[in-house]
Amino acid sequence: MLAALFNGRVLTDAGVVDGKAVLIRNGKIAGLVDTAQIPSEAERRDLDGGLLVPGYIDTQVNGGGGVLFNDSPTVEAIAAIGAAHRRYGTTGFLPTLISDDLSVVDQALRATEQAIAQGAPGVLGIHIEGPFLSPKRKGIHDADKFRVIDDEALALLSSLKVGKTLVTLAPERTTPEMIQRLASAGVRVAAGHTNALYKTMRQALDHGLTGVTHLFNAMSPLTSREPGVVGAVLENQTAWAGLIVDGRHVEPATLRIALRTRPLDRFMLVTDAMPTVGMTDKSFDLQGRHIRVVDGVCVDDHGTLAGSDLDMASAVRNATRMLDLSLEEAVMMASAAPAAFLGLDGQRGRIAPGLAADLCLLDDELNVTATWIDGVSS
């Protein structure tokens, strides 16, 4: 069946255009045509002047809708998390497992395979954040779970049969050769929760590491005589850097400075969201610790950051208001950039013929009023 979305402003590669209809067939964008050229057989949907943008892609989603992936690494949990975030424009996501036993990692991988096989909306793969991290930059992670990557772990991390696998690790806790083996096996490798020296990070980037998880948070900083992980990333012009733009994880001025150092399309918005997103109850338990939302961020009883209460719609709004980005730039960092990071830029992340019809309809305040995933509307 052919569908036509019309009477809206459409964010295309050429910018925002008026008077165009987006045609959808079999879950993909079939074309952009003048409204007068909509085929007669098309089922029409009036967008009432709203702004149609590519659906948001979030590579770091620990939970949502009251569900934490670590507590329940199941198909049902993945679907519930996806449904909670879809209300905020997320049409593609990686359910994220923080440091845990390898048996739990295995459960999460198998659940992700099943979720994709069963057509759970928006599931693009999985993000395994730890347990291969630095105790010196552990954040809220349980250091008792930490371990080094051996051949057993490598086999497990590269075992996902469908979808993308992203692994966050501390480069100083492994070797450049192991990073290269992971990358050669098709795993996307990012640095995070790391105290690596600049030299170590440079070696990791040279051996297949292509991203950094929540830039500035839980990593060695840029200093006068040791540039650290932050310095290595800001110098590098090709690796992708995730940003948590909630005004609390990182001072907005720091982010504005970072954006001037490298191409904008190598930054991507992430939420690092916890179960509180989409819920009125703003507290939960994480591996035996009580977490609550204080001034918009999740913290434990000692004030340690424990993920966020951020959604992608808010991240996009914050990027325009706090970082002085245009709408087009903010949306790109929420859609095309993460798609490219995952190697999916030929499949989704833009409104263009042949790509997945993953779309998000916004009002003038950039609130989400409707979404489409593979052409199916919410």
Please enumerate, by residue number, every residue annotated as part of a binding site for Zn(2+).
129, 193, 214
Distant-in-sequence, close-in-space partners of 155: CB < 8 Å, separation ≥ 6: none
Structure tokens at 168: 């966050």
Which residues in 13-89 belong to E strands, given as ranges?
15-17, 20-25, 28-34, 43-46, 51-54, 56-61, 63-64, 67-68
272 classed as catalytic? yes
Q: Which of 272, 311, 358, 374 does the annotation list as catalytic?
A: 272
Tell me, what amino acid is at 283?
Answer: S
Sheet with 240-243: list strands edge to edge: 56-61, 90-98, 125-129, 164-169, 188-191, 211-212, 240-243, 267-269
Q: Which of 346, 316, 312, 352 has its CA nearest to residue 331?
A: 316
176, 206 contact by CB (below 8 A) = yes
Say if CB 375 and CB 3 are below 8 A apart: yes
Amino acid identity, residue 78? Answer: I
Take residue 162 and report the two structure tokens written for it. 């469908």
* Feature table: binding site: 129, 140, 193, 214, 217-218, 225, 249, 305-307
Tabulate helix, strand, coil % of the chain (nearest 5): 30, 30, 40
Residues designated catalytic: 272
